[in-house]
Each structure stands twice: as C-alpha cells, then as structure tokens.
Amino acid sequence: MNLRDWEYFIAVADYRHFGKAAEACHVTQPTLSAQLKKLEGYLGVELVERDNRHVWLTPVGQEMALRARRMLQEAEGLKQLARSQFNPLAGDIRLGAFPTLAPYFLPLVLPKVKKKLPELRVFLIEDKTQILLQQLQGGEIDAALLAMPINKEQLDVIPVCKEEFLLAVPTNHQLARRKQITLDELQGQNLMLLEEGHCLREQALSVCQLAGAGENTTFRASSLETLRQMVISGLGVTLMPAMAVNSAQEGIRYLPFEIPPTREIGLVFRRSDWRLPLWQQLAQVLRSH
C-alpha cells in the first residue's frame, strides 16, 4: 500500500468513473483498476462497487475516502514543509474568492502580491462561498477570500478588510439627487438581489430586515453586472459593494449611507495548515491595498 494507490481511489471517488479517474491520474484504466483491487485486497474490504453504468462507494469506502483525503493533505503538507525550509514564502497556492469580490478586488491586489512575494505563484478559483468552503475543507484549494463570519472549527481566518455597501438607484429615482441617505429610507423599497447561493444575497437580506425593506421577488440576478444593468434600465434598486462601484457609468447613481452597512472580508485557511507565516504575509499585502 502506498500513497499513489490512495490517490487512485480518491480519483474514483471524485469522478465515479474508472476511465475519467485513470485519465486524471495519467495512467491506463487497467493499471488503476489493478491497483485499486490490490488496495482492497490489502485492506480486506471492498471500497468500490460498480456495474455496467454506475460506480459508487461502499459504506466503508465512503469513510475511507474521508480519511484518505486528510492523509493525502498531510502528505502534501510534509512535502511543502520540506520545500519551505528553503523559502517559506515561495511555491504554488490555490486561492479562492467569491464572484462579488474576485473581479473587482483581485486585479487590484495581485500585482502587489507578485511584487511583494515574487516567488509565490497564485492560481485563482472563483466560485460561490459554499463551494469554496467545501473545496477548502477537502484540500482542493489552499485558502480563500470569504465574507465573515465563517463558523467552521477546522478553519482559521485573518481579517483583510471591511467593505461598505452603497445604494444603487436609476438616475431618475426619487432618491437620486441625495448626497447621503439613512437606512430608514430603505423602508418600503423593494431591492433586487442575487440568486440563492451568493453570500452577498444573505448580507443584503440582513440589511433589508434591519431597514424594513423588502425583496423584489419577481427578479433574481446571477451576477452583480446583471443587477447593475437592471438598475440602469430603471427596473429597481439594489445594494452594491463599494469595490464594484463604477461611478463613470451613465444611468446609475450610488448613494452612500449615513451609517454604512458593511461586510468583512477575511483570508480563510485550514487550521492544520503549517503555512501560517505565508498566510499572515499574504493577508498583510492584501490589507495594504
């Protein structure tokens, strides 16, 4: 039994297809199948069942997959630890960020990261918060920029920044001429929000509840850019994070709040990750923006 056998098994668990798993592992399907059979023989249990159309894990296979992922993460951590002795701020990292932050924040800060940490290579993954959390816990990514709070015992966080929300309204809206508004003035407004699964939706709903505003249930957008265009078209108002504001765009006004609602962004990583100095340094560079 060796680590490579467990990598084959995890690939089968992920793809539920022997051919795709073999391709991902860069081996032939017979080789992968043979090594998996060898692993099952060594353990004395059946890990995988399959018929002509389906592949699934046995109950013990499901439990083995959870532990094998942790074992492979630890093994990778040992290799990274050995490499870090030469330079703890070098190497490759997979960094996640959610869609209402990534396109507005990362293009601004990554050039600074490259300058301050020249031997660090950052590979970006953009997805919704829950998916990024699953990937982080499963070892598929190394860290993620997420909105707080994150209540996961196995994860740790370093605060990066706080971001204000503004109210985006059409230029012909009754509030458009105001220089500043209060949360109370949202009462009775129906805000257009993002679809389920976006953390910004939950944050906006919290503001709505606090201010006595409601949600426009006839429309839910898949992106901030769609929301922006709907506001420009005069179809409603929405909350916009400050980093996404484009003041030069016609047809839309962004109104600051007297006491602005905010969201806090943090750099989240596994508590068991040995690269704490790297995450601290990276957070400091991101915070400096």
Mean pLDDT of 56-77: 88
Which of 69-78, 125-134, 246-255 has maximum average pLDDT?
125-134
* Percent residues over pLDDT 90 in the chain: 56
| 206 within a domain of the structure (yes/no) | yes
| 169 within a domain of the structure (yes/no) | yes
CATH number at residue 148: 3.40.190.10
Structure tokens at 54: 């389906």
Last residue in a domain, options 25, 51, 72: 72
DSSP 168: E
- Are both 35 and 95 inside the same structural domain? no
Mean pLDDT lowest for which of 93-97, 205-209, 213-217, 221-225? 213-217
Mean pLDDT lowest for which of 30-44, 87-101, 155-169, 207-221? 207-221
- Are both 146 and 210 inside the same structural domain? no
Last residue in a domain, options 72, 92, 119: 72
- Are both 61 and 196 inside the same structural domain? no
Higher pLDDT, 79 or 269: 269
| 78 within a domain of the structure (yes/no) | no
* pLDDT tens digits, one per residue of 74-98: 887 777 667 666 666 777 899 999 9
- Are both 51 and 109 inside the same structural domain? no
- Are both 32 and 93 inside the same structural domain? no
| 281 within a domain of the structure (yes/no) | yes
- Are both 131 and 254 inside the same structural domain? no
Q: Which residues form the domain of 21?
A: 3-72
**Domain total for the chain?**
3
| 21 within a domain of the structure (yes/no) | yes
What distances in angstroms separate CA 88 from CA 29, 92, 105, 122, 221, one per listed residue?
A: 38, 11, 25, 15, 42
Query: Where residue 269 falls among pLDDT bands split at 50, 70, 90?
Result: very high
- Are both 41 and 117 inside the same structural domain? no
Structure tokens at 153: 């015992």
- Are both 64 and 119 inside the same structural domain? no
Closest CA to 143 of 132, 129, 127: 132
Q: Is the model's pTM score more than 0.95? A: no
| 145 within a domain of the structure (yes/no) | yes
CATH number at residue 60: 1.10.10.10
Last residue in a domain, options 72, 95, 110: 72
Q: How far apart are CA 200 and CA 151, in angstroms?
A: 17
| 239 within a domain of the structure (yes/no) | yes
Using an 8 Å Cβ cutoff, are 145 and 265 in contact? yes
- Are both 215 and 167 inside the same structural domain? yes
- Are both 176 and 254 inside the same structural domain? yes
Torsion of CA 171, 173, 177, 181, to 10 degrees: -120
| Residue-averaged pLDDT of the chain | 88
| 211 within a domain of the structure (yes/no) | yes
- Are both 58 and 92 inside the same structural domain? no
* pLDDT tens digits, one per residue of 147-176: 998 888 889 999 999 999 999 999 999 888
Q: How far apart are CA 44 and CA 55, in angstroms?
A: 20
- Are both 131 and 250 inside the same structural domain? no
